Every structure is written in structure tokens, then in C-alpha cells.
């Protein structure tokens, strides 16, 4: 396992981390399908044994269940791991609600600390806040206060659009930004990632496998259970993503033997990325994803071919649907 500096925070993180959204389960929807806690527990332990020290979750994942599972699985390992979680999804008041008020954030943090069985959070992130909040310098005052109190070591923002990250860098000095960055969605690499690096801001690259479609295990006929975020996705969109993933198979090599590893190596080829967080639900996924760190980097030729495929919509034709988000 290779390790990278986490911006200018002084933290050192495994370049491949553990994305813990999926292990929150499907009891409350907003999921990646049904999970088994024993299997999830074993996956966390396998990741630890393979050198992973970065675990990213959110309080809303499984309405606290992801945090609870990590708290149990990481018991006795606190000094070995970096825990990142998020706040703002106010599931206590019902699904789909957001709340970033100082009183709510303080209350939610205490509950996260209890579930994670720790007295501090390494990386505390605002979870997909609206642009209006990102633009307001007052939005970050409590986070700075919590940092001074020792409740959190660093703070950041999980965003959707790169423009949100660029705005945050102008308004405040976040320790990190979490953003979608993958072969289908490389936009963040154009301006946001270099600017973050120049500002000493760490970058957490999320959805590196494009919601699982860069794993190569899905087809146009794949079905997703109710509660899975992909359950209502249009069939044409699913077909476009699976077809685009198939185009990438020609780029596989002995060092990147699977599509997962190709996709993760693409993200890691950007030196501005501090850590990439594929979702992991099983021991097998932990082994495949974390082995990526020890494989050879993608060649300039392979990266150029990926870029060319992206520019030409993966050969799908503009009228036949796009895998891009």
C-alpha cells in the first residue's frame, strides 16, 4: 500500500481508502442494496490487514448504521486509522432533509462520536451543502471552533459540482474537498484539483467506479432492488454506462487486470488526489480494490486512450445515450 499526504494537514493516508456508504445497508433506502453486517465487518478487517488506514462514511448512511458498524469493526485500532464522516443529512427529522445550523451540527457530531466509539473525528465534512451556504464565510465558523476544541482534527466539504469546490477555496480554507472524479466524470481534474493542490487542500475522490458501472459486472439487463439509488435509473442510461465500460476492456493489462483496477489507477494518476474511496462491501472487493495500489501506474498511452474515448463518448454516438454524469 502506498500512502499520500492529506493536503497540508500533516495526516498521511492510504491512497486507496474504504468507502463505507454501502455498508450502511438498505433498511432506509439511499443505498447500494442489501448488505450483511458480518460480511461488512470482515471487509473492514481485510482492508485494515492490507494497509488501508482511511475510512470514509457519513451519519446519514443507513441512518447511523455505517458509523456504528465502523465503530465496532475499528475497535482497538483507533490510533491506526483516519476516520472521515459527514454531517448535514438530517435523517432524524425524516428522509431527504438537510440541516447545517450550528446547533444541529454540534448535536449530530456528538451522536457520530458515540456511534464511532471515539472522542474525535479526523475529517469532518459538510455533506453536499447548497451553493448559498458554501458562499457564506459564516458557514465555517463552527467547524473552526470544533477544530480548536479538539472534537475534529480537520474539516472539509463534500460537493457535487467542481464550481462548488472552487467557490469554497475562494471563500474559506477547507482542509479537504470530496468530489466525484472518475473516467466517466473527469471534469474536476481540469481546474478544481490543481487549485486545491496549490492551496494545500486535500482531495478525496469519490465514486471512482461510477456507482459500480466501472466494475464491469453489470449489463443493460441488470436489476437493482428498491432502495438502491440505481433502482429507478433509465434503462438507456444503464445501457450506455455498461457499453462504455465494455469499451475500456481493451485497455486492460497484466498490471491492471480488472476494470476496477483500471478505473482506480486512472484516479490515482492525478497527483492532486490524496485518496480514492471505492465502495467496499466484501472481502473480495477489499482485496481487488486495495491491490490496485501495488500495481504499476497507467502509461501515458493508456491515459491518452482513456481521454480519447471520453472525448468521443466511448464510441456510443451522441444520439445513443451518454454514460457521463
First and final C-alpha spacing in the chain: 30
Length reported for the chain: 325
Provide CB contacts within 8 A for 55, sequence distance 6+.
Answer: 17, 18, 20, 44, 47, 70, 74, 81, 82, 83, 84
Query: What SS3 state is found at 64?
Result: coil
- Which long-range contacts (C-beta less than 8 Å, at least 24 apart) are formed by 226-232? 226/29, 227/26, 227/28, 227/29, 227/30, 227/31, 227/33, 228/26, 228/31, 228/32, 228/33, 229/30, 229/31, 229/32, 230/32
Neighbours of 58 (CB within 10 A): 24
Residues β-bridged to residue 87: 126
Q: How far is residue 268's CA from residue 112's CA, in Å, rounded to a whole number?
A: 30
Q: Are 162 and 192 in contact (CB under 8 A)?
A: yes
Q: Are 125 and 108 in contact (CB under 8 A)?
A: no
* Bridging pattern class, strands 82-87 and 121-127: parallel
Active-site pick, 61, 124, 181, 218: 61
**Residue 61 annotated as catalytic:** yes
Q: Which residues are catalytic?
A: 61
Amino acid at each position: 500500500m502506498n500512502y499520500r499526504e492529506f493536503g497540508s494537514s500533516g495526516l498521511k493516508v492510504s491512497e486507496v481508502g474504504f468507502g463505507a456508504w454501502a455498508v450502511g445497508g438498505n433498511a432506509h433506502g439511499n443505498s447500494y442494496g442489501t448488505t450483511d453486517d458480518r460480511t461488512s465487518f470482515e471487509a473492514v478487517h481485510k482492508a485494515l490487514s492490507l494497509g488501508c488506514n482511511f475510512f470514509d462514511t457519513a451519519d446519514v448512511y443507513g441512518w447511523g448504521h455505517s458509523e456504528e458498524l465502523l465503530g465496532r469493526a475499528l475497535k482497538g485500532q483507533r490510533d491506526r486509522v483516519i476516520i472521515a464522516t459527514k454531517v448535514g443529512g438530517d435523517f432524524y427529522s425524516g428522509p431527504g432533509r438537510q440541516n447545517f445550523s450550528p446547533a444541529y451540527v454540534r448535536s449530530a457530531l456528538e451522536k457520530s462520536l458515540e456511534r464511532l466509539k471515539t472522542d474525535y473525528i479526523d475529517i469532518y465534512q459538510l455533506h453536499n451543502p447548497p451553493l448559498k451556504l458554501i458562499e457564506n464565510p459564516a458557514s465555517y465558523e463552527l467547524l473552526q471552533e470544533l477544530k480548536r476544541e479538539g472534537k475534529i482534527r480537520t474539516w472539509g466539504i463534500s460537493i457535487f459540482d467542481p464550481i462548488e469546490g472552487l467557490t469554497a477555496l475562494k471563500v474559506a480554507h477547507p482542509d479537504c474537498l470530496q468530489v466525484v472524479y472518475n473516467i466517466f466524470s473527469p471534469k474536476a481534474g481540469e481546474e478544481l484539483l490543481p487549485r486545491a493542490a496549490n492551496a494545500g487542500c486535500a482531495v478525496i475522490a469519490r465514486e471512482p467506479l461510477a456507482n459500480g458501472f466501472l466494475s464491469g459486472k453489470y449489463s443493460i439487463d441488470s436489476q437493482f432492488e428498491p432502495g438502491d439509488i440505481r433502482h429507478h435509473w433509465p434503462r438507456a442510461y444503464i445501457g450506455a454506462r455498461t457499453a462504455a465500460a465494455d469499451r475500456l476492456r481493451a485497455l486492460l493489462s497484466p498490471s491492471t487486470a480488472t476494470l476496477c483496477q483500471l478505473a482506480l489507477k486512472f484516479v490515482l494518476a492525478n497527483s492532486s488526489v490524496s485518496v480514492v474511496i471505492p465502495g467496499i462491501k466484501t472481502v473480495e472487493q477489499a482485496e481487488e480494490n486495495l491491490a490496485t495500489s501495488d500495481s504499476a501506474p497507467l502509461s501515458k498511452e493508456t491515459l491518452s486512450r482513456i481521454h480519447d474515448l471520453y472525448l468521443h463518448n466511448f464510441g456510443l454516438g451522441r444520439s445513443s445515450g451518454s454514460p457521463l454524469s
